[in-house]
Structures are given as structure tokens and as C-alpha cells.
Copies of this chain bind each other. A is one copy, B any other.
């Protein structure tokens, strides 16, 4: 037979997508999907929601929208794809163009011939090499079985305290799932702040401040040295460089590592993950790779990064399905987009971190702009705090991070679209975003943030960050000027040693009351008045004036 033979290794996201798409593009192709586990096409990102009982049935993660389970029979009947479950690919013979697969149970070995091979081998949880990492009560979160085991353990063991190692996306989502069961959760993170891949320090501080109000505990900048167990080998806690912490359950969520053994042994080019070109071809043009096992180009920085994400895996699958059947579609890269919901808040980002921007040599400028997510006169409005980062020279937006109780995801997606095209602050400020009072303000948060950023780039706005403002609180050379109303002032205080109160409406008339020999830091709730106040003082002859970026609404320090 001369029909195109496509073999796909890996059945979670990129693999089944590539297989299905290849069949759609070339109905005569012989497509075989090989998966070592028991399931294909499960919604892995939904597992924390199953653990937390938000999703009631595990089956819901495995079904189509019409509740069909994607069994091998289903895949054959509807898509004419041969699916081998419980078979692991062990070797690629690139000369013969065959792949060796072994049955996980029977150890039977087969060799599958291919014309085009697709590697969608995904990633595995990283397990730090510490004592007792496999003790009873220590879990990782990867497969449906992990989620079922975890939930069962919670139900039967009467877990009161849990520790989550790693404050990344999966760890934190699972921490919330544990909290849903009334468990007292402590998150231990090696980096100095939470969500270190997603948030820069000031945004992480604000989010952490909220999460602590929801009774999550955080131990940061801390290394877990050992899992502690009792005589029966059951976990009792963890030992860290900052002391011991008790727990009846531990989640190890210290990141994932791409599964690249098969590719490496076949001599394909591998960095941290498999290297592919824009057509998603590996260094062997007949072997494609996609999903969590490959490196992606970061569109903002141009750098090659490892950024595993279910959404990317699905895109990869489609492009690979097209290309193995003759197309020449290109994958443009990723923006490092992520979003997370924790209790009643959300956080998200697009682009690169400040640390990366500085490393890459950008002249970094940032602004932090809180504001209601719909127009302020409508009921149901909630705040979000938007932080934009740009290159001062070009005005190009390098990163956006947003946190708060309001609608974060909407602005994150809007920025993902804009940053796909290298949007500048100037361009962002004029995008024709939709306005209706139930959904937004006449000037959406993103437009306002872009304007504040332009004011900063142009040298009109002089602001300092929370962290910097905090270092000045007890400085005798710094006067904090509160521009709020008396009513607002009574509600929330800033613990600065030297402060004055002049409501914004009185500032023009009373500017002369301020000392000329002090640094002045003005502040209000959301920093709208802060900027106005700085301008008024500049006009009145005060040069050493700044305002607190973002006001004190989200002031993250006690």
C-alpha cells in the first residue's frame, strides 16, 4: 500500500489533535495513535478542579461536548484512527523509519513503520531528589489517577494540614482545591515570591496579601530538604532550611520536565526540550514534535523558551496534522500567556518578566494602574490592578500582568492579541475596545494604563513602586502627602512617619504649605489624584515629587 503512514506518539493533547487533523486533511492516510497511559485526550488542566470537587465526575474531563468518551473504539468509528493504549514508544529507527513500541502490561514488542512520525510525548513532573519523596501521602498532579488518588486520600485519611511544594500554577490551583476541603494549606516556594513564572514582585505581593486573607499560608524563599515520615512510611511533614512543617499530605509541584528521552536517543536535536523549526519539524524533517515536549519561540523576546501549555499543544497538533499531510503551516510562537483563578481573585500575564527584560537590555519602564473593571457607577464593579511594562525607547509593550477580584482574563486576552503584533503604548491607547456600562468603562483599564505608561515614558508622570515607597515610610527627609477625602482617610491609613493631608481639590490653593526641602510622595486610592497632585506641585515649584504607583488600594504591606 502506498498510503501515507502517520504514527503519533502521545495521546493527551497535541497527539490526538495531530492525528485527527491529519485524517481530516488526508482521509486516506493510515494514522496510528500510541499512548502509554490508560486515557487519551483528557483535560489535564481540569484535574485540580476535580480534586477540589468543582468538577464532580472524572469522566467529564474525558468526554466530547456530546458526552462521548474518546475510547479507541470511538476514535476508530468516528475518525478512522487506530489507537493503541498502554503501549510505550521505546525506540525510533530513523533509517528504516520505524518506531518500536512495547506493551506496558504484556511487554509485547511491535515495530510500526511510518512516513511521518509525530512526537507528542509531553512532560513529566519534576521530583526533587530528596528523602522520602515517594512516601505515602506525597502526591504529584499529572494524570487522572493522581487526582483520584489524592481525593481518595483526603476523604479517607482525614487530612487537616497539607503542604504544597511550589507556588506555580498547578501547585496553587491544587492548594485551592485542598482548601475547598477545609484543609489548612501551606505553600512552600524556593523563589522569594509566589507565581514566580507569572508575576513580578509587586504583583505577587498584592496577590499573596489577598490569598493570606483566604487563609492560605506561604513560606517563601525556602528550600524543602526532606519529606518527614512516621514509622509506617506515611508523611508527617517536611523539613526545610527554615524549619519543619507538619502535614498529613504533601503535593510536589516543582515544575515539569519535557519527556525527551525518545527524541534524544534517536539523535534529534534537544535543548531543554525538543527543538523544532517553525513548521514544528525536528532536526529530522520526517519527524514532527509538539506540545509540552518542545521548545517554543517567545514572540516578545525572540528567545527559545520552554512554556508548556494545553492551549499551545492544541495549536501544535493542528499545524502538525496539516504539515504531515503536505501543508507548510507555521507556528509563530508564544507570548508566555497565563491566567489563574484563586478563590475570588484572578491573575494573569502576557509577555516577559521584568527580570528577563532587564537581562535582555531593555530600558524598562512600568506603570501600575488599579481601577474598576466596569464603569464606576454600575453595581457589580470589581477592581483589577494592571501593570504594563514597556521598552522606553520604542514604547513597545514587553509585558502585562493583572491581578484582582475583577475581570482579569478579558484584559489578558486582549493584550495577547495586541502583543502578537508588537503593540506599543501609543497604539494600545487608541484601540477601539468595546464600551457599554455592564462591561467596561468609556476608557478601559488597558487604555488608561497605556496612557499612564505614555505619561511615564514622556517624563510627565513620576511614580515610585510599593516596595520603594515602603523604604521611605520612616525616612525623615520624605513627606507623604495624602490627597484623599477625609472620609477615605479615616478608612485606611498609610503608616508613614511624616505625612500631611490636603484633599486634591485644595491642593492648588494650599501647595505653599508644603516644605521645599523635603522629598514629597503623594498618594491617593488608585493614583488618579496622585498624578494630578504631582503635576500641581511641579507647577507650584516643587521638583522632588513622585506618586505611589497604583495608590494604596492594594498596598501589600502590613
Contacts and interface: CB of A to CB of B under 8 A. Distances in A.
Interface of A: 13, 24-25, 27, 43, 45-46, 49, 54-55, 60-61, 63-68, 74, 77-80, 169, 173, 299, 309-315, 318-319, 329, 331-341, 346, 348, 350, 371-372, 375-379, 407, 409-418, 420-421, 423, 426-427, 429-440, 442-444, 447, 451, 460, 484-485, 488, 504-509, 524-526, 528-529, 532, 535-536, 538-539
Given A529-B66, A539-B27, A310 B435 contact: yes
A443 to B, nearest CB: 5
12 contacts: A43-B377, A45-B442, A49-B378, A54-B378, A78-B508, A314-B442, A339-B440, A409-B434, A410-B414, A414-B417, A416-B434, A417-B433
A420 B437 contact: no
A65 B432 contact: no
B378 A439 contact: no
Given A337-B434, A378-B54, A311 B442 contact: yes
A221 to B, nearest CB: 26
A167 B257 CA distance: 56
Contacts of A60: 376-377
B432 A337 contact: yes
A503 B444 CA distance: 46
A179 B460 CA distance: 48
Given A315-B429, A315-B430, A377-B43, A339 B416 contact: no
B54 A311 contact: no
Dominant secondary structure at the A interface: mixed
A45 B435 contact: yes
A377 B27 CA distance: 30
B45 A439 contact: no
Contact of A505 (B74, B315, B319): B74
A313 B524 CA distance: 27
A437 B309 contact: no
A310 to B, nearest CB: 4
A430 B535 contact: no
Q: Assembly of this chain: how many copies?
A: 2
> What are the nearest 4 A-B pairs in CB distance?
A421-B421, A417-B417, A339-B434, A311-B435
Given A43-B442, A45-B442, A412 B434 contact: yes
B311 A433 contact: yes
A427 B422 CA distance: 13
Given A335-B432, A337-B433, A412-B434, 19 more contacts: A13-B442, A54-B378, A65-B528, A78-B505, A78-B507, A78-B532, A311-B433, A311-B434, A313-B442, A315-B447, A332-B427, A346-B439, A409-B436, A411-B413, A413-B434, A414-B416, A417-B433, A421-B421, A421-B423
B66 A488 contact: yes
A371 B64 CA distance: 12
Contact of A341 (B318, B413, B439): B439
Contacts of A63: 377
Contacts of A329: 426
A431 B435 contact: no
A25 B68 CA distance: 62
Contacts of A509: 77
A318 to B, nearest CB: 7
Contacts of A434: 311, 337-339, 348, 350, 409, 412-413, 416
A443 B341 contact: no
A439 B345 CA distance: 12
Given A27-B539, A46-B437, A312 B409 contact: no
Contact of A432 (B350, B504, B506): B350
A427 B420 contact: yes
A431 B420 contact: yes
Nearest to A460: B24
Contacts of A536: 78
Contacts of A79: 532
Contacts of A67: 485
Nearest to A173: B436
A222 to B, nearest CB: 26
Contacts of A414: 410, 413-414, 416-417
Nearest to A335: B432
Contacts of A299: 432
A42 to B, nearest CB: 10
Contacts of A526: 65
Contacts of A313: 442
A334 B434 CA distance: 11
A506 B332 contact: no
Contacts of A61: 377
A32 to B, nearest CB: 17
Contacts of A378: 46, 49, 54-55
Contacts of A331: 430
A156 B310 CA distance: 58
A408 to B, nearest CB: 8
B524 A66 contact: yes
Best-surrounded residue of A407, A420, A429, A440 (most CB of chain B within 10 A): A420
A339 B436 contact: yes
